[in-house]
A and B are shown apart, each in its own frame.
Chain A
Amino acid sequence: MKRALLLAAATTLGLAAPAAAQNVAITNAKLVIGDGGQPLDGGTVVIRDGRVVAAGAGVAVPAGIPVIDAGGKWVSPGIFAGFTRMGIVEVDAVSTTNDASAGSSPFHAALDVAPAVNPRSTPIAINRAEGVTRAVVAPENSSGSIFAGQGAVIDLASDANAVSRPRAFQFMEYGEDGGRAAGGSRPAAIAMFRNALFEVAAYQRAPASFLDRGKDSLLTRADAEALVPVLRGTMPLLVHVERASDILVVLGLKREFPALKLVLVGAAEGWMVAREIAAAGVPVMANALSDLPSSFEKLAATQSNIGRMQAAGVLVGIGTLGQDEARQARWVKQYAGNLVALGRIPGASGLDWGAAFAAISSRPAEVMGMGADYGSLRVGRRGDVVIWDGDPLEIGTNAVSVIIDGVEQPLSSRQSRLRDRYWKPGEGALPKAYER
């Protein structure tokens, strides 16, 4: 459905339309399902109409479906990047190309990143070529509000519409950043949060009279409207929080607003309160390798954070908040591999290989409440599949084929073009500008 629309759009815009094959079977694979298990030899995955219809060893290929023989190579779900700003920033330092935040806007929670997502921004092609197929895209808050706005989930396909799920969540800041944005302290952030949700409740009761409430409401009508699904619990609220005591405060918000569907982002000191997080049933999108006390809210940061939280029963995916997240989602593979390496350090808590791969595929999708659609090769998921020339978590492994929604994708980028032009740096018979 979406695909049909996209192809029409692609034709209009004169894009190189990708082959529209949404049916494909990959056989003879070292198959990674992405659900935490180990790879299976001799696996097959079958995609029909853009979704997985079968995956495993001993799966038969239905007649009439194009077949790719993986020749024993690794085949996995595409990488689901848990927290990024891809597609909304071309060059961070060029403000006209950076739609992550809006410091001069009167709106906050109402800001919706979806219209800003540009499928042709260079990081999309660069990350696609390295096996990243979906990404959570979050807005960034600015001073004046703890609410950053509504984020999206995107695909990294080479077509005209990247947004898979617009308005997929609301993002807010707590802790040091939230306190400063709210006026100077953590209590100010909590006051702003409670006031906002009370106002949202008032808006819900009587939308037509909301404008009569005057400036004292401290919330625009558009912001109130955007927060209604948060208060109802139909839209996840992602909260950036790092310090152990701050995490407990955020978990405590559910006592006052029981419907909240919380997700913690960052959570550098999550391991210190892992049992409480697990008991609250709140999932976490954590940075994998933060190990420095880079601020006073991350004093206890350690690379063992994710391993310890997972061992305590917390659902954790890997995100990349503050880690060049507009362009380097591809690094999550390296991060996950490093968590495997931790398992060999006495006293450290890492992840086994299957759990590490899941932390960049099914787990972040599940953290977002989208595990039924994305992040693994279980039946019913979108057909996002990558064929690799080796272990996908190992450095130097290349994605040899990337399939999104069952459609094989181009793997070239601006960077690969520059490389080709300058592989031999000297100029030839004509200037470099003529070499392409």
Chain B
Amino acid sequence: MIRTTLLLGAAVALSACAANGGKAQTAASDPAPSGPGKGKGYDHDPYPSTYRAYPGAPTLVTHVTIFDGEGGRIDNGSVLFRDGKIVALGKDLAAEPGVTVIDGTGKYLTPGVIDVHSHLGDYPSPGVQAHSDGNEATSPVTSEVWAEHSVWPQDPGFGRALANGGVTTLQVLPGSANLFGGRSVTLKNVYARTMQAMKFPQAPYGLKMACGENPKRVYGGKGRAPSTRMGNIAVDRQTWARAQEYKRRWDKYEEKGGEPPSRDMAMDTLRGVLDGEILVHNHCYRADEMAIVMDMAKEFGYKVTAFHHAIEAYKIADLLKANGACAAVWADWYGFKMEAYDAVSENLAILDKEGACAMIHSDDENGIQRLNQEVAKARAAGLKGGFAISEEAAWKWLAINPAKALGIDDRTGSLKPGKMADVVLWNGNPYSVYTRPQMVWVDGALLYDANDPRKRPVSDFELGQPGEGDVK
């Protein structure tokens, strides 16, 4: 994974930068004149994660069916995690003293569900106008806005996604009114007083882009560009051309020094994309538009990490594969708008069958509570068509594949030793409608237990209200 390596490099550079306050640094051996160095002209991480894992007991789950999230399966297996990390999984792991042992007979154990497309916190419950913080619909290009600055950490939806959906990580994106909607943020699904304390440590940022109906409708309705699909692409290209110029100026300054160029927060984000430090998540429904966007990415030297919603991805599975672009899709949404008219329930299955990178997503505060069932539907559609995808392989659609699309697959998204112990124990087969999460751990800390009302999160908003602390 070349991309992941690049990202990690960027992450290291970022933390180094944060550590010295973003000040210019000149290696003593370099001859003058010299700039602050690549990526060091300004702080790339001014709102750093303050997330800390909660303490957890060393835990061994035994006699359980395991989907490891990368396509592996162990029947009647065991998983051991300790100090927030997966330690081992196998057939017969012995219980050491001091380890909590949970009998998983009849149950299933998986990595935590990862939702690559959520608006929790930005469009929280209650969905009143005062909470509507997901679309900065005042200009088609708002790559300067960051979804994290809208996240309300008291959204009751986070707790539902944890308890009913086993969701341990999610990407919160700006909405799709704009061509360049702004930066996304990846969160651990752990309640906190601040957004920063939910922020997944050193996850790369995403850039939300949108094609199709939404931007042209929103801005065409205001009598300004874009009002057509060709207008969408024209504004996109003009913006990328500006970003290239901005990048050249800053690259030159960071290398050679002199007077720093003017800062432009929108262009900072796009420069990050051109540098491979920020990942593009592109809302796009139609096959023909995705093909155009992939050419546009080549034209300007960036990469689309994932097309989101991607209703027609199945029509161009081969093109997506050739371009290394993923598709994040629903199981069976269709028809609510023109560009969703050609949906099929076999979308995920066809993509996977053709070797393209595919995953489920919710885009919905209710759907995020049942992503396991959405994958069950998508898998069933594939089976019906004759594509024999196994249960364990389909779990990639809500584990390692979204982890890769978020650039965090080196730390979560599967049950590999050394990875974060983000784990769900299900009270049955998670593809059955009759199954629910039994226990959910994030970084090895038990944060939901169906049998313990005290392990049921209640956000500030719900405190003192009717239904506080109820099973939801």
Residues of A within 8 A of B (CB): 90-94, 122-123, 126, 244, 269, 272, 289-296, 298-304, 324, 326-328, 334, 337-338, 340-342, 344-348, 393-396, 398, 415, 418-419, 422-423, 425-426
- Contact of B373 (CB < 8 Å), options: A122, A334, A347: A334
Give the shortest distance, in Å, between A11 (CB) and chain B (any CB): 30
| With A291-B472, A337-B434: A93-B126 Cβ-Cβ less than 8 Å | no
For residue A398, which residues in chain B have a CB less than 8 angstroms away from its CB? 384
Q: Judging by beta carbons under 8 Å apart, are A302 and B470 in contact? A: yes
- Contact of A300 (CB < 8 Å), options: B318, B338, B470: B470
Q: Judging by beta carbons under 8 Å apart, are B156 and A395 in contact? A: no
For residue B384, which residues in chain A have a CB less than 8 angstroms away from its CB? 398
> Is the CB of B461 closer than 8 A to any CB of chain A?
yes
| With A347-B453, A396-B377: A422-B315 Cβ-Cβ less than 8 Å | yes
Q: Judging by beta carbons under 8 Å apart, are B470 and A393 in contact? A: no
Residues of B within 8 A of A (CB): 125-128, 156-157, 160, 164, 213, 314-318, 332-338, 341-346, 350, 354, 365-366, 369-370, 373, 376-377, 379-380, 383-385, 427, 431-436, 450-451, 453, 461-462, 465-467, 470-472
A to B CB contacts below 8 Å, 21 in the list: A94-B338, A292-B156, A293-B125, A294-B126, A294-B365, A295-B126, A304-B471, A327-B334, A334-B377, A344-B427, A346-B451, A394-B432, A395-B373, A395-B377, A395-B433, A396-B379, A415-B334, A418-B342, A419-B350, A425-B316, A426-B318
Q: Judging by beta carbons under 8 Å apart, are B125 and A294 in contact? A: yes
Please measure, in the bound complex, the distance between the C-alpha atom of A206 and the C-alpha atom of B264, giving whole angstroms. 73
Please measure, in the bound complex, the distance between the C-alpha atom of A395 and the C-alpha atom of B375, giving whole angstroms. 10
Q: Judging by beta carbons under 8 Å apart, are B345 and A415 in contact? A: yes
Q: Judging by beta carbons under 8 Å apart, are B466 and A292 in contact? A: no
Q: Judging by beta carbons under 8 Å apart, are B432 and A395 in contact? A: yes
Q: Judging by beta carbons under 8 Å apart, are B431 and A396 in contact? A: yes
CB-CB nearest in chain B for A397: B380
For residue A338, which residues in chain B have a CB less than 8 angstroms away from its CB? 370, 433
- Contact of A92 (CB < 8 Å), options: B336, B433, B434, B465: B336
CB-CB nearest in chain A for B433: A337
Please measure, in the bound complex, the distance between the C-alpha atom of A407 and the C-alpha atom of B453, giving whole angstroms. 51
Please measure, in the bound complex, the distance between the C-alpha atom of A269 and the C-alpha atom of B470, giving whole angstroms. 12
For residue B365, which residues in chain A have a CB less than 8 angstroms away from its CB? 292, 294
Please measure, in the bound complex, the distance between the C-alpha atom of A269 and the C-alpha atom of B335, giving whole angstroms. 31
For residue B343, which residues in chain A have a CB less than 8 angstroms away from its CB? 415
Please measure, in the bound complex, the distance between the C-alpha atom of A344 and the C-alpha atom of B384, giving whole angstroms. 30
CB-CB nearest in chain B for A393: B433
| With A269-B466, A300-B465: A418-B344 Cβ-Cβ less than 8 Å | yes
CB-CB nearest in chain B for A244: B466
Please measure, in the bound complex, the distance between the C-alpha atom of A360 and the C-alpha atom of B127, giving whole angstroms. 28
Q: Judging by beta carbons under 8 Å apart, are A422 and B344 in contact? A: yes
- Contact of B433 (CB < 8 Å), options: A293, A301, A304, A394: A394
Q: Judging by beta carbons under 8 Å apart, are A345 and B450 in contact? A: yes
For residue A272, which residues in chain B have a CB less than 8 angstroms away from its CB? 466
Q: Which of A122, A304, A415 has the most CB of B within 10 A?
A: A415
Give the shortest distance, in Å, between A351 (CB) and chain B (any CB): 12
Please measure, in the bound complex, the distance between the C-alpha atom of A289 and the C-alpha atom of B385, giving whole angstroms. 30
Q: Judging by beta carbons under 8 Å apart, are A302 and B467 in contact? A: yes
Give the shortest distance, in Å, between A107 (CB) and chain B (any CB): 27
Please measure, in the bound complex, the distance between the C-alpha atom of A328 and the C-alpha atom of B335, giving whole angstroms. 10
Further pairs besides A294-B365, A423-B350: 16, Cβ < 8 Å? A122-B335, A293-B465, A295-B126, A302-B471, A304-B470, A334-B433, A338-B370, A341-B435, A342-B436, A344-B434, A344-B436, A345-B436, A346-B451, A419-B385, A425-B314, A425-B316
For residue B315, which residues in chain A have a CB less than 8 angstroms away from its CB? 422, 425
For residue A395, which residues in chain B have a CB less than 8 angstroms away from its CB? 373, 376-377, 380, 431-433
Please measure, in the bound complex, the distance between the C-alpha atom of A123 and the C-alpha atom of B346, giving whole angstroms. 17
Please measure, in the bound complex, the distance between the C-alpha atom of A143 and the C-alpha atom of B55, giving whole angstroms. 53
Q: Which of A294, A298, A327, A334 has the most CB of B within 10 A?
A: A294
Q: Judging by beta carbons under 8 Å apart, are A293 and B156 in contact? A: yes
Q: Judging by beta carbons under 8 Å apart, are B344 and A296 in contact? A: no
Q: Judging by beta carbons under 8 Å apart, are A123 and B335 in contact? A: yes
Give the shortest distance, in Å, between B450 (CB) and chain A (any CB): 5
Give the shortest distance, in Å, between B63 (CB) and chain A (any CB): 19
Q: Judging by beta carbons under 8 Å apart, are A425 and B354 in contact? A: yes
Give the shortest distance, in Å, between B459 (CB) and chain A (any CB): 9
Please measure, in the bound complex, the distance between the C-alpha atom of A92 and the C-alpha atom of B451, giving whole angstroms. 42
